Amino acid sequence: MTTPTSVDTRNRTEPDDRRFLEPEIETASREQIADLQEKRVLELVPYVWECSAFYRELWSQAGVNPDDIRSLDHFTTKIPTFCKDDIKAYRDRTGDPFGGLLCVDISELTSITSTSGTTGMPELIPEIWTVAPPLPTHYARNLWEIGLRPGDKVLMPPGSFRNYFDDFLHMLGLIPVYLDCWIGHGEEVLRAIERYDVAFVQLFLPLVLEFEKLEEHYDIRSMLSSLKGAAFAGMPLGKVLTEKVRDRWGVDLYTYTSAGDTGTAWEGREHDGYFLWEDTVLAETLDTVTGAPLGDREAGELVATDLDNWAAPYIRFRSGDMVRITREPAPSGRTHARMWVLGRSGDEMIVGGKPMMVGEIWQLLEAIPELGDGIFQVVRYSESMDRLRIRAGYPPDRTGNLDELRGRATNVLEQGLGVGVDTELSPIDDLLATASSVAKFSRVVKA
């Protein structure tokens, strides 16, 4: 292999050892953030009224005229919210593939990606960009916070449905390592991280489970020691696996989540909440029943407005994510809102007349050693269920008597939840093979 060519320093003005990529905006005062958001919102409202048939119709039906919106307060109290079903209904009625959201001619788009589609058919995401696609571009401050710096090597993530990341990595001066990381390549990935001194990798559940299987053959901690950090997205990894990655393997694991389908929100170094970059998204939490705005750290539905998307912005989009948000500055000095995800609004279920969240089931199951990987699904066989039906994944190489395990798991769940439980066991790999997304493993499935 040849020696790399010399580094092009371009217009370098900031030292690499600064904590934040964009200190001015990342630590802006609350007033500065609010001013910026108001300015963007007051530009957006007349723009989409002019260009988007969907918003014109939605707002007209609500009796809203763009001239009525003269402040952030007017915006959050007068502009109606909407959800994915509204886009779908508009599309079904009009035949417009973009659901009336597209604000430019299709020929002006650079790329069109789509949502994960875990809760229905994917929705189109039109994109206009020049340097790197919007989604990875939003990762920039977060990767910098992890400690990545120009010249570091990054393993390319496998999934491509939200666009390609190499332009973005190059934008940050990072070197992509192109290796097939998909299911079945865990050993090659492990070796490549060690060989190339890879500084960052995107983990996903099957890859973590493959590493776990390789523990008896390799010193995983040593092989992963070059990592400055690793990311994990989708459903949470679970307490047991998270501890294994962080404590036993010594990897600084950063989880991230969707910012109401307007981008992503990542943990900072303190791992205390996901940062919502408020110069790109206006985030609100609303009561799911009354629609009333909620206060700091109160649990409600995330309602998001795209502030940096001129192709097809989501404006007061009801995400279905149940969250808590605080605008208290973080200990690091970052001032943007932080969010904690409680689950999907659809994850709430009634079993035997009792309300229940997926997290409660998870906590009980992962305390059972053989089920500690937390790979399970709730089978929702009707809206109101008399008994809880669970599919749990077990590792065949670490599991003895299946009948005994089934009985023990059922007993733990029944004791902990106070409802009748039917437990079905399945090898972990078989259960993961039912996933319909690169990043997400659905915890609640239909029968």
Partner 1 sequence: MTEAAKTLPRAPFFGIASCPVGATGLLEFEIGWDEFERDVQWAESLLRASGLGPGDLVLITISQWEGPWTTPVVTALRRIGVTYLTAEVWNFDARRTSMFLQRLPVKAVFGLAGDTAGALENEDPPLAELLRDVQIVWARPDAVGHLSGIAPEVLPFVHLGPALALGVPGQPGALVNAAEWAVDTEDGDLVVSNAVERATRFDRTPTGVRGSVLSVSDAAVVIDLDQYAAQ
The two structure tokens encoding residue 182: 């998909």
Measured from the CB of residue 370, what is the shortest distance to partner 1 in angstroms?
Answer: 27
Q: On the CB side of 157, how many CA atoms lie within 13 Å of its CA?
A: 22
- Under rule CB under 8 A, residue 182 binds partner 1: yes
Residue among 94, 113, 118, 399 that touches partner 1 (CB under 8 A): 113
Amino acid at 210: E
Please report how close the Cβ of residue 153 comes to partner 1 at its closest, in angstroms: 7
Q: Which is nearer to partner 1, 135 or 385 (CB)?
A: 135
Chain positions 36 to 95 lying near partner 1, rule: CB under 8 A, are none
Q: Closest CB to partner 1 among 24 and 397?
A: 24
Among residues 386, 340, 388, the alpha carbon closest in space to that of 360 is found at: 388
Give the phi and the psi of residue 301 in degrees, each rounded to 5: -85, 135
- How many residues touch partner 1 under the rule CB under 8 A: the total is 68
Q: Residue with structure tokens 């069109």? A: 112
CA pair distance 282, 279, nearest whole angstrom: 8
Please name the residues in contact with 78: beta carbons below 8 A apart, sequence gap of 6 or more.
62, 64, 68, 69
> Binding of partner 1 at residue 432 (CB under 8 A)?
no
Nearer to partner 1, 163 or 423 (CB): 163
Closer of 42 and 175 to partner 1 (Cβ): 175
Cβ pair 227, 201 in contact under 8 A: yes
Would you say 112 or 417 has its CB closer to partner 1? 112
8-37: contacts with partner 1 (CB under 8 A): 8-14, 21-22
Between 207 and 365, name the residue whose CB sits nearer to partner 1. 207
Closer by beta carbon to partner 1, 112 or else 445? 112
Which residues face 351 on adjacent strands?
A: 354, 385
Q: Does 196 bind partner 1 (CB under 8 A)?
A: yes
Give the pair of three-digit tokens for residue 70.
């003269």
Question: Please, what is the minimum distance in Å from the beta carbon of residue 12 to partner 1?
Answer: 6
Stretch that binds partner 1, among 113-121, 216-224, 348-356, 404-412 (CB under 8 A): 113-121
User: CB atoms < 10 A from the CB of 101, how many?
Assistant: 26
- Segment (H or E) for 41: helix 30-51
In SS3 terms, 89-108 reads as: HHHHHHCCCCCCCCCCCHHH
Query: 181 vs 251, which CB is nearer to partner 1?
Result: 181
Helix ranges (H only) for 203-248 are: 205-213, 220-223, 239-243
Shortest Å, Cβ 174 to partner 1? 6
Taking CB under 8 A as the rule, does residue 290 contact partner 1?
Answer: no
Please report where in the chains the tokens 């890859």 appear, as a residue. Answer: 207
To the nearest whole angstrom, how small is the minimum distance from the Cβ of residue 169 to partner 1? 7
Q: Which two tokens stand for residue 436?
A: 């319909």
Give the range of 115-123, 285-293, 336-344, 346-354 binding partner 1 by CB under 8 A: 115-123
Asked if 409 and 368 count as a contact pair (C-beta separation under 8 A), the reply is yes
301 in Cβ contact with 285 (< 8 Å)? yes
For residues 142-181, which are near partner 1 according to CB under 8 A? Answer: 150-151, 153, 156-166, 169-181
Among 136-144, 210-218, 324-332, 370-378, the segment contacting partner 1 (CB under 8 A): 136-144
Closest separation in Å from C-beta 277 to partner 1: 9
Q: Could you give the count of Cα atoms lying within 13 Å of 147 in the half-sphere of its Cβ? A: 15
Contact 281, 260 (CB under 8 A): yes
Closest to partner 1 by CB, 172 vs 364, is 172
Q: Could you tell me the smallest distance in angstroms from the CB atom of residue 443 to partner 1?
A: 17
Q: Give how far the C-alpha of residue 420 lies from the chain's centroid of Cα atoms, to the nearest Å.
A: 33
Nearer to partner 1, 80 or 159 (CB): 159
Distance separating alpha carbons of residues 153 and 174, to the nearest angstrom: 6
Report DSSP state, residue 81: P
Distances, alpha carbon 182 to alpha carbons 175, 206, 326, in Å: 20, 8, 36
* Nearer residue to partner 1 within complex by CB, 158 or 352: 158
Smallest gap, in angstroms, from Cβ of residue 5 to partner 1?
A: 6
The angle at the Cα of 190, spanning 186 to 191, to the nearest 5 degrees, equals: 120
Site string for partner 1, 91-110 (x = CB under 8 A): ------x--------xx-xx
Q: Taking a C-beta distance cutoff of 8 angstroms, is the pair 341, 299 a contact?
A: no
Residue closer to partner 1, measured from CB, 77 or 436: 436
4 near partner 1, judged by CB under 8 A: yes
Site for partner 1 in 203-242 (CB under 8 A): none
Residues that bind partner 1 (CB under 8 A): 1-2, 4-14, 21-22, 97, 106-107, 109-114, 117, 121-122, 124, 130-132, 137-138, 140-141, 150-151, 153, 156-166, 169-182, 196, 435-438
